[in-house]
Amino acid sequence: MRNESATQLITELSAPGRRAAIFPKADIPATQLDDLIPSQHRASSPPALPELAEGDVVRHFVNLSTKNMSVDTHFYPLGSCTMKYNPKRHERLASLPGLVDLHPYKQEDSIQGMLQILFECQQILGEIAGLPSVSLQPAAGAHGEFTALLVASAYFRDRGENRTKVLFPNSAHGTNPASAALAGFDCIQLNSGVDGLVDLEELKAHVDDKTAVFMITNPNTLGLFETDIGKVADILHEAGALLYIDGANMNAIMGRTRPGDFGGDMMHYNVHKTFTGPHGAGGPGSGPIAVRDYLADYLPGPVVSKTTDENGEPYYSLTTPPKTIGRIRSFFGNVSILLRGYCYLRTLGAEGVKAAADNAVLNANYLMARLKNAFDVPHGKLCMHEFVASASRIVKERGISAMDIAKRLLDKGFHAPTVYFPLVVSEAMMIEPTETESKETLDAFVDALITILEEEPETVKAAPWTTPVSRPDEVQAARKPILTAPEEQTTS
C-alpha cells in the first residue's frame, strides 16, 4: 500500500518548469534590478531548487511522514526523553493570531499579553523548581546547561574565586561534559557506587576549592532518586561549590519534591519533555534555567519584569540583569514551545502536575515489576519514572543483544527503548513509559518483549522485518559520507 514513488528524494521528483508557489510581481512602478543591485553581487540564476507542483510536495511529505513512528501513532518508551502525549489544544492555542505572528522587535506596550504569559512562565517554573529566578532564553536543555555554567563562572569570578572544575557522575548525559567543556571548565568524571548512586567518598575525594559545580541528574539516568542528595549538597556547599540539577527527569518528581528544596542551586528544564513541547522529530526544544536568588543578577538578558504603569495597572517589560553573562541567543527564546508548556501547566494546575508525576512513576514501576523476571534490572528495587534493564544475560544465553531486541520491537509495533545508555550498564535498555499510557498498552509491550525472548534468535537478529528499511549500514555512511543528493541532470 505504501506509495514508494512519492518517497523518492524531493530532488528526484523535480520536473523543469513545474510550479507550486507563484508570486505576483510587486505592484509598485517596476525598476530594472540591474539598476538596484551592482552586477558583481547579482546571481546569474537562482539556486537549483527542485521544481514541483503543489500536489507533488504534499504527497511527498505526507508519504514520508508515514515512515515515522511517533507518539501519536505508537507507544514510544524512549528512556530519558519523556515521550508523553502532546495535547492538541496546545497546537491550536500556540498558533493564535497575537501569539504566533509577533515580531521580536515589536514595542513592549503592544505585546503586554505575551509578556504576561512569559512572566508567569518564569514564576511557575521558579515555583516548581524551588529556585525563584528564571531565564527562559535557552533554546534546549544543553543550551540551558551551558548558560547555567556561565552563570556559575560569572558568580565565582565576581567573588574573586578561581574555580576551574566541573564534576559529574559517569552516568551523566553526554551534554553535561560537553557543556562544561564549552563553558571553559575542566571536566572530571566520577565513578558511581555499586548501587548506581553518587559515591559520597568518591565525591569527597574530588571536591576541593577548585570545584565550581557538580552536575547531577536527579532522579539519575538509572531512574533512581539520589537518596543522599542532601549530603551531596552539603559536601558541595561546604567547599563553596554549586550543585547543578539536570532537569531531564523532572517528570518523575514535579509536585513531589523540588530541586531547590533538596539542595540544588541551579537547574534546567526540558519543556519539550516534561511540559509536552512537543519533540518535533528532534527539536525545537526549550531549556529554561532556574537559579537561586543570589545568582539572579548574572542571568542572561532579557528577562521579563513586572511593574505598574501610571494607572496602577500591571506593566511587563524586558530588563537585563545588572551583572548579566550577556546574550546567549538572538531574540527572546523558544517562545512558541514555552507557550505550549504554559498551556499544559495552566491545564493541570498543582494537583494535575503531581498526578502526572505519580502516574509516570506508577507506570514505570509496573513495567519494571512485570519485566523483572525476563530481564535483569541491576539497580534499584523500585524506580522513579524510568528504569534501566540489562540484556547481558540474554546475550550470553541466546546471543541476542539489546539492539536486536530494540529492532524486533519495531516489528511488534512499539518504538524501542533507549539502548546502550547510560554507559554504566552493559546492554542497557532504558525504558520510560510516561504517565500517558494505559495498563493495556504496558501489558501489550511486556507481552511483546517476552515473545521476542522466546523467538528464534535468527529471527530477532535479522529484525526488523516490517519497516521500510532494515539495519542501514552506518559504517559505510561514516566512511564515505553522502550528505546531499547529487544535482539533477535536468535542471532548467
Partner 1 sequence: MKYCQFAQQYRVYNDNTEETTPESCNRLVMKDCTVRTCCPERDFKGDALAYLFNTPDQQQEMLQAIGVQSIDDLFEQIPQEFQLKSPLKIPAPLPEMELEREMRKLAARNTKDGGRVCMLGGGAYDHFIPAVVDEIVSRGEFYTAYTPYQAEASQGSLQAFFEYQTLISRLSGMDVSNASLYEGGTSVSEAAFMAMRVTGRHDRVVVLGSVHPEYREVLATYLHHLNCELVVIPTPEGSVDPGDVEQQLDEKTACLIIQHPNFFGCLEEVAELTALARKAGALSVVAFDPISVGVLNRPGDYGADIAVAEGQPLGIPLQYGGPLLGILSCRKEYVRKMPGRLIGQTVDKEGRRSFVLNLQAREQHIRRDKATSNICTNQGLLALRATVYLSLLGPQGLKEVAEACCQNAHYAVTELQQIDGVEVLFDRPFFKEFSLRFDGDVDLILRQVANAGFEIGPHFERFRNVDGGQFAGWENSLLVAMTEKRTKAEIDGLVKAVKNAVAGVQEMATSAAR
# binding residues, partner 1 (CB under 8 A): 204
146 vs 182: CA distance, rounded Å: 7
Contact yes or no for 322/297 (Cβ under 8 A): yes
Using CB under 8 A as the binding rule, whether residue 62 contacts partner 1 is answered as yes
Q: Which of 76, 298, 387, 445 binds partner 1 (CB under 8 A)?
A: 76
Using CB under 8 A as the binding rule, whether residue 47 contacts partner 1 is answered as yes
Which one of the spans 65-73, 205-213, 391-399, 447-455 is the region binding partner 1 (CB under 8 A)?
A: 65-73
Using CB under 8 A as the binding rule, whether residue 432 contacts partner 1 is answered as no
Q: Which of 232, 241, 244, 258 binds partner 1 (CB under 8 A)?
A: 258
Shortest distance, CB of residue 264 to partner 1, whole angstroms? 11
Contact yes or no for 117/102 (Cβ under 8 A): no
CA atoms within 13 Å, Cβ hemisphere of 143: 20
Which one of the spans 92-100, 202-210, 239-247, 390-398 is the region binding partner 1 (CB under 8 A)?
A: 92-100
Q: Is the peptide bond before 284 cis (omega within 30 degrees of 0)?
A: yes
Using CB under 8 A as the binding rule, whether residue 113 contacts partner 1 is answered as yes
Using CB under 8 A as the binding rule, whether residue 205 contacts partner 1 is answered as no
Which one of the spans 52-60, 205-213, 390-398, 452-460 is the region binding partner 1 (CB under 8 A)?
A: 52-60
Q: Which of 314, 393, 399, 447 binds partner 1 (CB under 8 A)?
A: 314
Q: Which of 131, 134, 337, 424 binds partner 1 (CB under 8 A)?
A: 337
Using CB under 8 A as the binding rule, whether residue 399 contacts partner 1 is answered as no
- Residue that the C-alpha cell 555554567 belongs to: 149
- Taking alpha carbons only, the member of 451, 452, 446 closest to residue 371 is 446
Nearer to partner 1, 247 or 300 (CB): 300
Nearer to partner 1, 241 or 353 (CB): 353
Specify burial of residue 131 (Cβ count, 10 A radius: 0-12, 13-18, 19+). buried
Shortest distance, CB of residue 369 to partner 1, whole angstroms? 5
Which one of the spans 198-206, 234-242, 387-395, 411-419 is the region binding partner 1 (CB under 8 A)?
A: 411-419
Using CB under 8 A as the binding rule, whether residue 387 contacts partner 1 is answered as no
Using CB under 8 A as the binding rule, whether residue 384 contacts partner 1 is answered as yes
User: 10 Å Cβ neighbour count for 124?
Assistant: 17
230-249 residues in contact with partner 1 (CB under 8 A) are 230
Which one of the spans 175-183, 209-217, 388-396, 452-460 is the region binding partner 1 (CB under 8 A)?
A: 175-183
Using CB under 8 A as the binding rule, whether residue 52 contacts partner 1 is answered as yes
Contact yes or no for 401/427 (Cβ under 8 A): yes
Shortest distance, CB of residue 10 to partner 1, whole angstroms? 5
Using CB under 8 A as the binding rule, whether residue 322 contacts partner 1 is answered as no
Q: How far is CA 460 from CA 375, 403, 455, 472, 473, in A?
A: 16, 10, 7, 16, 18
Shortest distance, CB of residue 461 to partner 1, whole angstroms? 11
Using CB under 8 A as the binding rule, whether residue 73 contacts partner 1 is answered as yes
351-380 residues in contact with partner 1 (CB under 8 A) are 351-356, 358-359, 361-363, 365-366, 368-370
349: alpha, beta or left? (left if phi > 0; alpha if psi -120 to 50): left
Residues 6+ apart with CB under 8 A from 452: 400, 405, 408, 409, 412, 460
Shortest distance, CB of residue 373 to partner 1, whole angstroms? 12
User: 10 Å Cβ neighbour count for 455?
Assistant: 14
Shortest distance, CB of residue 343 to partner 1, whole angstroms? 6
Shortest distance, CB of residue 390 to partner 1, whole angstroms? 19
390 vs 431: CA distance, rounded Å: 11
For residue 99, give the amino acid letter: L
For residue 265, give the amino acid letter: D
318 vs 299: CA distance, rounded Å: 13
474 vs 312: CA distance, rounded Å: 63
Query: H helices within 374-468, ranges in order?
Result: 392-398, 402-411, 439-454, 457-461
5-44 residues in contact with partner 1 (CB under 8 A) are 7, 9-11, 18-31, 33, 36-38, 40-43
